[in-house]
Amino acid sequence: MHEPPPDNVDEPLGLIDGLLKGLAAVTTQSIAADLRAIRAHQDCMEARTDAKLRLAELAATLRNGTRLLTPSLLTDYRTREATKQAQTLTSALLRRLSTCPPESGPATESLPKSWSAELTVGGDADKVCRQQITATILLSWSQPTAQPLPQSPAELARFGQPAYDLAKGCALTVIRAAFQLARSDADIAALAEVTEAIHRAWRPTASSDLSVLVRTMCSRPAIRQGSLENAADQLAADYLQQSTVPGDAWERLGAALVNAYPTLTQLAASASADSGAPTDSLLARDHVAAGQLETYLSYLGTYPGRADDSRDAPTMAWKLFDLATTQRAMLPADAEIEQGLELVQVSADTRSLLAPDWQTAQQKLTGMRLHHFGAFYKRSWRANDWMWGRLDGAGWLVHVLLDPRRVRWIVGERADTNGPQSGAQWFLGKLKELGAPDFPSPGYPLPAVGGGPAQHLTEDMLLDELGFLDDPAKPLPASIPWTALWLSQAWQQRVLEEELDGLANTVLDPQPGKLPDWSPTSSRTWATKVLAAHPGDAKYALLNENPIAGETFASDKGSPLMAHTVAKAAATAAGAAGSVRQLPSVLKPPLITLRTLTLSGYRVVSLTKGIARSTIIAGALLLVLGVAAAIQSVTVFGVTGLIAAGTGGLLVVLGTWQVSGRLLFALLSFSVVGAVLALATPVVREWLFGTQQQPGWVGTHAYWLGAQWWHPLVVVGLIALVAIMIAAATPGRR
């Protein structure tokens, strides 16, 4: 990643730079907060998964007939889960009522009058509804005194869909551990069939949209005539009815694992010992997965060495229920099902073998200019960034798809068909069949790192990177970047076939009716070469010579597009400043004048299309006509002439800046002299110093200048001092 330069205490930031740095800090903190939240989620998921495994390990050591779940744990689970469901239902109910208009007739969408008093500000509607819903759910989940724990599928069904989903998650955890140990196609197919049987055991038929449930309940006349507490009770009853799970669903869930026991026990017994292999190696991962599977099978009661045998569906169902509810009873009320996240950070800071010299976003993207607003400047910059975005995106997609875990599974599944080839050689051969290019004799050039010698990517480097496919004792890498870098060329070349000509056309062919999208000579020459090149490696090689990504605002200085942009920015800034209503009255006349001048200049630049010669001619013409009109004694001609002369001077300065930066300072000096000479015109003189009838601007707002004869000399001296200080600060300028 590109690191910004460190702050220097001797060079404090200005206002704009300070604000932009603060904005960047806020954005960075937001991203960092998201990353911390993901990391915390991952830690919680790993802790909950480990807790479930340890509970199963503990339960396997209990005496025969002793259940993992106790009445106290069941009470804790009922309380936590009922509280969670009550909070969700209460929020949905109150959200619905907050959008209902007051009752004005028999309409079922209005708020009943009998509920209005309880929903007033300061009322306890939230507490009343939550307590009532909690009580209704707890009553539905209560157990008889003679049988404190549920055991039959019908008794388990009373706990509804939340408990079933938790038990289903436990069953899938067992199968997930077994998938790690699967090697043959038969094992994969058997585990896939078990997974399908678990999902097929029961699928909800009704919609779980709470807003529909609440709206239906609130529209019933009997409910609207009762109290809000009764409405909450009915909502809980409707929710329990909607989330009902039939008893035979629990039995089918247990039967799915019972039928899979021969396969599960075989996979657990066939795992190889790790023999001190590295932690991330295939052998070590298989050893951990086998241990987890043995633990779950030992708890579920059908693993060799156990005296009892629970290979019947009802017993399997309540064992899953016990494991799920025991774990849930120990978690916070808002705990979620164990679902991990894998984060892939996609950025432009990535490499491509088609352009080895371009590695960072700062190098590739013109949009990084002007604090990430540069791409708004011209079409060729946007086309350049779009092309790089597609190239980098293709590379990242290949990087994600080449997950070492998936690659190892694909190679292991076809181990018997590889012949004399190693797994790595077979996999590279398959990638070449997909379109990956052959390796050139010296290899693909790689950029030098840290000033070291240049390197080349060879096929031997890829075989070494894929060595984990043939040696189970080697650690499983987090990614295979060299292989992804090589394979991604197949898709990146297709992107170049579409985008490279489009980028060249934006440089050479302006859009009809729009301003010229000017580019430096080097960019136009490169674009001509791109359009003339034949498709193939010779054309792809031009990407590494792309000069458009290296363009800056400095390289576009003096271009018609830059002149048009500067004029538009000046007019916009002056208009924004003049639109502020709270401005002091002393500043309004200068700002109005400035807005008029910049807007007039922008319109003239638009007519001349930003061409320097046309802009200077138009400016000189307006300047001459404006001076001629300004020296007239008629006020209308004087004001109009001053505006025309000011606009002409602005255009001459802008056009001259396009031609030469040094000449610009001479013209700026000329403009200052022109402003001084403008004091001799009747209009300016009367506006500043007034007449016998009115005091003028100086007499009204700067009376101090006329109070003593030497006051104007002080102002002139200060102006001269500022000019001398500026000249001393830039001694190299001539």
Per-residue pLDDT reduced to its tens digit, 466-514: 999 988 888 889 899 999 999 999 999 999 999 999 999 988 876 666 6
Q: What is the pLDDT of residue 201?
A: 95
Q: What is the pLDDT of residue 616?
A: 86
Each residue's pLDDT tens digit, 200-221: 999 887 667 888 889 888 888 8
How far is it, in rounded angstroms, from Cα 134 to Cα 80?
10
Q: What is the pLDDT of residue 448?
A: 65
C-alpha dihedral (139, 142, 145, 147), degrees to nearest 10: 160
Cross-strand bridge partners of residue 446: 455
User: 600 phi and psi, to 5 degrees?
Assistant: -65, -40
Q: What are the residue ranges spanned by the domains of the chain? A: 68-98+125-149+203-244, 361-447+455-554, 558-729
What is the maximum alpha-carbon separation in the chain? 120
Q: What is the pLDDT of residue 514?
A: 64
How far is it, in rounded angstroms, from Cα 1 to Cα 23?
19
- Residue 463 predicted with pLDDT over 70: yes
Q: What is the pLDDT of residue 515?
A: 56
- Residue 304 predicted with pLDDT over 50: no
Each residue's pLDDT tens digit, 384-400: 999 999 999 999 999 99
C-alpha dihedral (428, 434, 436, 438), degrees to nearest 10: 70
Q: Estimate to the nearest angstrom the gap between the alpha carbon of 253 and the chain centroid.
A: 39
- The residue with tokens 């610009």 is 664
Cβ neighbour number for residue 614 with a 10 Å cutoff: 17
How far is it, in rounded angstroms, from Cα 347 to Cα 396?
9
- Residue 97 predicted with pLDDT over 50: yes
Helix (H, G, I), strand (E, B) or coil at 33: helix
With bands split at pLDDT 50, 70 and 90, how would you rate the model's confidence at 15? low
Q: What average pLDDT does range 364-373 have in this prediction? A: 81
Q: What average pLDDT does range 596-616 have in this prediction? A: 87
| pTM listed for this prediction | 0.69
Quick one: 7 exposed, middle or buried, by C-beta within 10 A (0-12, 13-18, 19+)?
exposed
Give the mean pLDDT of the chain.
Answer: 82
**Residues in Cβ contact with 614 at an 8 Å cutoff, skipping those fewer than 6 apart:** 608, 655
CB 250 within 8 A of CB 293: no
What would you report as the CA-atom Rg of the chain, rounded to the nearest whole angstrom?
39
User: 406 phi and psi, to 5 degrees?
Assistant: -70, -40
501: amino acid identity, one letter:
D
- Residue 282 predicted with pLDDT over 70: yes
How far is it, in rounded angstroms, from Cα 314 to Cα 520?
79
Residue 300 structure tokens: 């579920």
